A and B are shown apart, each in its own frame.
Chain A
Amino acid sequence: MMFSAAEWAALALSLKVSLCASLFSLPFAIALAWVLARTHFWGKSIVSALVHLPLVLPPVVTGYGLLLVFGRQGVIGGFLETHFGLILAFRWTGAALAAAIMGFPLMVRVIQLAIEALDPKLEEAAKTLGAGWGARFVLIVLPLIAPGILAGGILGFAKAMGEFGATITFVANIPGQTQTLPSAIYAFLQVPGGEASALRLVTLSVIVALGAVFISDWLGRQVANRIREK
């Protein structure tokens, strides 16, 4: 299959955006998954609902919300621009933010399941052997939930590759700058004779998505095996 320069640009941008989105949100997803799996506090269900909101909200609403908050006139967007010179709206960084937020609930969910499957008794044993919090997390918790973290990361990455609604609302569809794979497919379908390009990109999307789901599913089973002492 031969790709045109515009198609390559869309693919490269999508990979960059998705990789950044999943890598940067992973530590936050682990922290939040830990809080949701292991702690009890008033308002936990509200936090959980907020995290999962992008999953059920129309993506265009999330995109518009991002524009309001992270746009150049927005509260956080304005702050980031004046203090760090970081502009998100209509830039690839904004696409990464939109993709991260849309993929976040999936990541948290998968990692939370891995943490819930982990028996806290093992950490108790590590405590009695003299291991402090950090050592327990690095030597016991992380290795045992690693497949879950990887699976969550891959799923988040795949979701970022497919993100369209929030992205196009927040950062528009500028070829070479904010035109990700789905945006490019949409654009090719709008012009006469673009179907062939669209079809090539559609095939690519399907392969990436299927691969991600298979790998994350396989890694999820690894978690179960490790914890069952097999």
Chain B
Amino acid sequence: MTLELSLSHHFETFSLQVDIQASPGVTALFGRSGAGKTTVAQAVSGLLTPQQGRITLAGSVLFDRNLGINIAPNKRRIGYVFQDGRLFPHMSVAGNLRFGKQFATNPLDPKNEQRIIDMLGLGHMLARRPGTLSGGEKQRVAIGRALLSDPRMLIMDEPLAALDTGRKAEILPYLERLRDEAALPILYISHAMDEIARLADTLVLLKAGRVMRAGPAVDILADPAAVPFIGVRHAGAVLMATVMAHHTDGLCQLSVSGGMLHLPGVTAPVGEQLRLRVLAQDIILATARPQHLSALNILPAVVTSLRFGDGPGVAVGLRVGQEQLLARITKRSANELDLSEGRQCFAILKATTVSRDSIGQ
């Protein structure tokens, strides 16, 4: 099921003009506040009527200005998870879930309903009122309510932005399960790259109402040219790693296509596939294999592209095995090492720089 949209909408202070194709899986819209992310989400859900454009979902037209088609939000069957939850305060958790189910075109059978309640861990809070739930619990109920309305796709508009780091870490695994278990296209809106790196299959970078980059998340996250839009401190590629062994000294051995990594803090069982976000600023480059070094992880790499920024930094795209990696070093280092496209080098990753939050399923 594919979402295709082409919109233009002018506000007093900025204008939005975007063309986006979202394939099945998680499509993340990334951008700063005011980039137009929520406007896109609201246009897709029908809560906002764009001035120009066309939106189709799996071939059916939701909105077409020229044809005069504008399906009402309550007829679009698009689940929407808001940043602020928006649970109905006068209903219990069960009541909120029932509200979602009540208007479903094809209500889920009790087995699937129970599966969603289990997946989100809602079973023990059904009798409670929204006012007594924590922020993370509220968001889980909001997700469950949206799923029970039997949507054709799901929009998640900054679902974690109102939560503190602890709650965020608690709810991210639920979102990963949702991505893998529910066969729904998800439009995921966020200004937090750590969430996107863990969840997104496709990534769309928005800036001031325009699409800067769009494509597979692993490619864009590893693209030196995308660094200015992501921000130098948040740029970093994602590697697919398989858990090979847990060593007695607390390190976990992981296999990536370019070699082996040893990292602390991994609890996933042997054989599990993980998404590993490696920040560009955490990588050191060397043109010869270094020795007598405390850093544990040294992967042979080939420079694929270089992007010199306006400041003292350079973003270096690397190929490591079949995968891509992104490193950020200084211009001085790049010149001294004489880095250029095609140059063989070694990417060095200090084990303790990969935080627990950067490891996803």
Q: Does A226 contact B (CB under 8 A)?
A: yes
Chain B residues near A128 (CB-CB < 8 A): 45, 47, 73-74, 76, 78-80, 146, 149
Task: Evaluate whether A129 and B130 lie within 8 angstroms (CB atoms) in the complex, with A121-B86, A124-B86 already known.
Answer: no
Q: Does B61 contact A (CB under 8 A)?
A: no
The reply to whether B131 and A129 contact each other, CB–CB distance below 8 Å, is no
Q: Is the interface of B mostly helix, strand, loop or mixed?
A: loop
Chain A residues near B88 (CB-CB < 8 A): 122, 125-126, 140
17 inter-chain pairs at a CB distance below 8 angstroms, sorted by A residue, are A124-B73, A125-B86, A126-B74, A126-B99, A127-B72, A128-B78, A128-B79, A129-B100, A130-B77, A130-B103, A130-B105, A131-B102, A132-B72, A132-B103, A135-B102, A226-B90, A229-B129
In whole angstroms, how far apart are the Cα atoms of A128 and B76 in the complex?
8
Q: Does A49 contact B (CB under 8 A)?
A: no
Interface string of A106-125 (1 = CB under 8 A from B): 00000000000000011011
Interface string of A204-230 (1 = CB under 8 A from B): 000000000000000000000011111
Q: Is the interface of A mostly helix, strand, loop or mixed?
A: helix
The reply to whether B86 and A122 contact each other, CB–CB distance below 8 Å, is yes
17 additional A-B pairs beyond A128-B146, A143-B90, beta carbons within 8 Å, are A121-B84, A124-B47, A124-B86, A125-B82, A128-B47, A128-B73, A129-B74, A129-B79, A129-B146, A130-B102, A130-B105, A131-B74, A132-B103, A135-B103, A144-B90, A227-B89, A229-B89
The reply to whether B74 and A130 contact each other, CB–CB distance below 8 Å, is yes
The reply to whether A121 and B103 contact each other, CB–CB distance below 8 Å, is no
Partner of B73, one of A127, A139, A144, A229: A127
Tell me which of A125, A130, A139, A230 has the highest count of chain B C-beta atoms within 10 A of its own C-beta. A130
Tell me which of A121, A124, A230 has the highest count of chain B C-beta atoms within 10 A of its own C-beta. A124
Residues of B within 8 A of A (CB): 45-47, 72-80, 82, 84, 86-90, 99-100, 102-105, 129-131, 145-146, 149
Q: B270 to nearest A CB, angstroms?
A: 42
Q: A186 to nearest B CB, angstroms?
A: 45
The reply to whether A129 and B103 contact each other, CB–CB distance below 8 Å, is yes
In whole angstroms, how far apart are the Cα atoms of A122 and B237 in the complex?
38
Partner of A132, one of B74, B76, B78, B146: B74
Chain B residues near A130 (CB-CB < 8 A): 74-75, 77, 102-105, 149
Residues of A within 8 A of B (CB): 121-122, 124-132, 135, 139-140, 143-144, 226-230
Task: Evaluate whether A230 and B74 lie within 8 angstroms (CB atoms) in the complex, with A124-B86, A129-B100 already known.
Answer: no
Chain B residues near A143 (CB-CB < 8 A): 90
Q: A184 to nearest B CB, angstroms?
A: 43
In whole angstroms, how far apart are the Cα atoms of A131 and B79 in the complex?
12
The reply to whether A144 and B89 contact each other, CB–CB distance below 8 Å, is yes
Chain B residues near A226 (CB-CB < 8 A): 89-90
Task: Evaluate whether A121 and B149 lie within 8 angstroms (CB atoms) in the complex, with A131-B74, A140-B88, A226-B89 already known.
Answer: no
In whole angstroms, how far apart are the Cα atoms of A126 and B100 in the complex?
8
The reply to whether B89 and A121 contact each other, CB–CB distance below 8 Å, is no
In whole angstroms, how far apart are the Cα atoms of A191 and B79 in the complex?
72
Q: A124 to nearest B CB, angstroms?
A: 6
Chain B residues near A126 (CB-CB < 8 A): 74, 88, 99
B148 to chain A: closest residue by CB: A129
The reply to whether A125 and B90 contact each other, CB–CB distance below 8 Å, is no
Chain A residues near B77 (CB-CB < 8 A): 130
Q: A140 to nearest B CB, angstroms?
A: 6
Chain A residues near B76 (CB-CB < 8 A): 128
Chain B residues near A229 (CB-CB < 8 A): 87, 89, 129-131
The reply to whether B104 and A125 contact each other, CB–CB distance below 8 Å, is no
In whole angstroms, how far apart are the Cα atoms of A144 and B79 in the complex?
23
The reply to whether B74 and A127 contact each other, CB–CB distance below 8 Å, is yes
In whole angstroms, how far apart are the Cα atoms of A35 and B129 in the complex?
31
The reply to whether B131 and A127 contact each other, CB–CB distance below 8 Å, is no
In whole angstroms, how far apart are the Cα atoms of A95 and B105 in the complex?
51
Chain A residues near B90 (CB-CB < 8 A): 143-144, 226
Q: B57 to nearest A CB, angstroms?
A: 14
In whole angstroms, how far apart are the Cα atoms of A128 and B149 in the complex?
9
The reply to whether A121 and B74 contact each other, CB–CB distance below 8 Å, is no
Partner of A121, one of B82, B99, B129: B82
In whole angstroms, how far apart are the Cα atoms of A143 and B89 in the complex?
10
The reply to whether B89 and A131 contact each other, CB–CB distance below 8 Å, is no
Chain A residues near B99 (CB-CB < 8 A): 126, 129, 131, 139
Task: Evaluate whether A129 and B89 lie within 8 angstroms (CB atoms) in the complex, with A124-B47, A135-B103 already known.
Answer: no
Chain A residues near B146 (CB-CB < 8 A): 128-129
A125 to chain B: closest residue by CB: B86
